[in-house]
Amino acid sequence: MDLAIIGSGYVGLVTGACFADVGHNVICVDNDVQKIKLLQSGDVPIYEPGLEEVIHRNVSAHRLRFTGSIREGVDDSQIIFIAVPTPQQPDGDVDLSFLARDIAAVLSDYRVIVDKSTVPVKTGEKVAESIKRYNRHGANFDVVSNPEFLREGCAVADLMHPDRIVIGAQSERAIDLMKKVYEPFMAPILVTDISSAELIKHCANSFLALKISYINAVSAICEASGADVEKVADGIGMDHRIGRDFLNAGIGYGGSCFPKDIAAFITISERLGVPFNLLKEVQRINTAQKERFLKTIRETLWVLREKRIAVWGLTFKPDTDDVRSSVAIELVADLLREGAHVVAYDPKGIQKARAVKTVAAAEFAPSALEAVSNAEALIIATEWNEFANVDLAVMKEKMRTPIVFDGRNLLDPETMRTLGFHYHSIGRASAKPG
């Protein structure tokens, strides 16, 4: 099939590349001229495991190309996927009206317009109204909601092997075309109305965030009682009704999806007259978790001013270069505001972190071990595998004082105690040298 993807960010690039990989002809559209030039020259502007290989393979096979022209995308495609970023407005809504107008201006024949971005319920109706209003040719079209369920760091695998495919549509013609798109993926397809499809994504992300905040609230109880949050999570997770995923205690969730989606869902529920107060508590716990971690750091180091503190991790999760709404970035900014000298390292996120104004005063190290050189403490803020496999004996020798604050429970407390570290984690007993 001939498909267009409008938006060449994390969702758009992965979607376009994977659709091409199963045999569709895909044109990715973006209004960022520099990004399109990079892609056309063979460079990939984001880090996502496996993505670069998939893009190069399908560009070489002439199934994937890039353009800055919406007209080219619309004219050359049967189905147009909208995968643009959806930042919230002050009222919690998102504005796709300009994009809808751009599509409407060049729409001259039947097309399926698919909303792939995460949007508030009823957005599909607004997109349809805008296209109908501004389409000079009176062309027939259908609007479909087809939410993505991609996790940064494993987005290619998620798209190629999805748990489910949700298609929200009103016409059989659009549903049949969408089923044809997804036929190669061999995954369960759920067909719903548009509003239900839009709600599914917000509900799913909010529930996952709830699990994270739940185990983080439990971690505070574990610390107070001397219990081990990881053992508690294992016991909870063995119940098949609950499952172990997203029950990892830490310093809170971040990224481009959870904070935005939960805030949007709270606003949506209030607008509908059904306040979702449980999600407000999820937000509160998430914020409190970082503050509780910072309190431990302050109480241990006493004064942060002029102390040399190493931070491992800047991205919001491992296996990505995305630092948007990263708790690690927030921690670095908090430390800098209190006068600490922060030396940060991340395997993939340094370049994007340098562009964040709140952490511009930090020093960025070329390796994990160089970051801890002469440091009075280390903070682990992102759970990269590289950090779990570091030579701890060498690390201890390099540090001025062997104090570690593990915000992701990446290391073993008994090993750290045996090696002579002062080790603090989340929801587990603090370890002092034996």
User: Which residues are part of the catalytic machinery?
Assistant: 257
Residue 390 tokens read as: 């570091």
User: What is the rounded distance in angstroms from the CA atom of residue 384 to the CA atom of residue 380?
Assistant: 9
Q: What beta strand segments (E) does 136-268 contain?
A: 141-145, 165-168, 189-192
DSSP track, 94-124 = ---HHHHHHHHHH--S-EEEEE-S---TTHH
- The set of residues, in sequence order, having a beta carbon less than 8 Å from that of 130 and lying 6+ positions away, is 96, 97, 100, 101, 104
Closest alpha carbon to 156 in 320, 384, 385, 374: 320
Neighbouring C-alpha atoms within 13 Å toward the C-beta of 304: 22
Residue 415 tokens read as: 């090993």
> Strand 2-6 vs strand 25-29: parallel, antiparallel, or unpaired?
parallel
One-letter amino acid of 388: A
Residue 356 tokens read as: 């964040």
Residue 328 tokens read as: 């690690």
Cα distances (angstroms) measured from residue 422 to each of 173, 244, 345, 419: 64, 29, 21, 9
Contact 410, 392 (CB under 8 A): no
